[in-house]
Structure 1
């Protein structure tokens, strides 16, 4: 073993101790549970607000998956995935990104940022920038589809924060959201009760941006 291999191994051991591993796994479940549940609440609020989009999602699931089996992560459901992405964009569940620190003195667009400065990205502003998004205040899943109806990614879509140290559980969260959302819409339909208060997209802002309490009717398909 040469010196470089030894240093690499020592660095790996030092950065991934048992304590760090325990904290990392705990954060995956604790932080991931809160944001995933909040995102699903926004999803179903938008489904009762836009029943035509709910029907399009269900039609796509039925045509690809069928009624006799449940959706899988590997299923090609571009409109369904675009709908989840649009919920994440317009709701911006974590409106302010994970804090970062400038590693060195930096100048960005004429602004001097000293080493050690805390930097917080405004994800809500990025997701509602009129220069980037056409009618950003409107719920339009189609914005994430290309001319062929295939899913397309936009660099300004960053619900899991930005930078090298973005959300650790991004891939896990995407799978959880897809599975829960598609399974529920495969089995049930959701609508607003006639006597319930008008739908509002106002939110309670805390660690996450959560929708205000709302009522819905769940019907077996």
Structure 2
């Protein structure tokens, strides 16, 4: 039978989406802009796609056309996820890489791939026409399985819209500080510290 949510539960879920989905999305976009500043050729490719859209995104169909922009977001999440680990409890005795893990042991899974080169195209199908759904499904920035973050789709869409608007209205996004000055800081989320960007507003 269908589960009927009370008004209180609806309110709590809305608050949860707002609280959990604001800072995390902001950090994702910030890291993405950092990598676009480091790799101008990737930034240019994303802007070409945005310009081909021809207007600010205002419908789901628009987001479906922003394939490479979404790849940039997915890659930023792979390199510098807002939540850098997941905690799991081992449900039965097992062995991993020759090490015995007893049931009930808490296992910490770290996600960051910060030392790996930025390559958004890894998320495309071989022909480059669309996102590789199987690879995206295995993306662990939002967890996995039945306990996967329920705000995953909304968060990615929000980030795509924000990044698209920035690319559409600003040119030449670059760092206003040496790359070595930027480092990650873990508070409620994991975000870039000392990140300063400069960009020029596009005219016309």
TM over 0.5, yes or no? Answer: yes
Across the two proteins, how many residue pairs are aligned to each other?
Answer: 191
- Unaligned 5+ segments in structure 1 are 1-7, 129-135
1:118 CA drift (Å): 4.9
Residue in 1 that maps onto 2:101:
111
Residue in 2 that maps onto 1:132:
none
The structure with more radius of gyration: 1
Q: CA RMSD in A?
A: 2.4
1:96 CA drift (Å): 1.1
Distance 2:164 2:186 in 1: 27
1:107 CA drift (Å): 3.2
Which 10-residue stretch deviates more, 182-191 or 71-80? 71-80
Instruction: Give the TM-score taking structure 1 as reference length.
Output: 0.75
Distance 2:12 2:108 in 1: 23
Asked if the contact 1:86–1:141 (Cα under 8 Å) also holds between the matched residues in 2, the reply is: yes
Deviations 1:135-178 (A, max 9, x none): x6100111112221032141542211123111121111111111
Q: Structure 2 matches for 1:59-74, cutoff 5 A?
A: 59-63=48-52, 65-66=53-54, 69-71=55-57, 72-74=59-61
Distance 1:180 1:49 in 2: 19
- The change in CA–CA distance for 1:112 and 1:18 in structure 2 (over 3 A counts) is farther
Instruction: Give the TM-score taking structure 2 as reference length.
Output: 0.81
- Unaligned 5+ segments in structure 2 are none
Structure richer in strand, relative to its length? 2
Asked if the contact 2:31–2:80 (Cα under 8 Å) also holds between the matched residues in 1, the reply is: yes
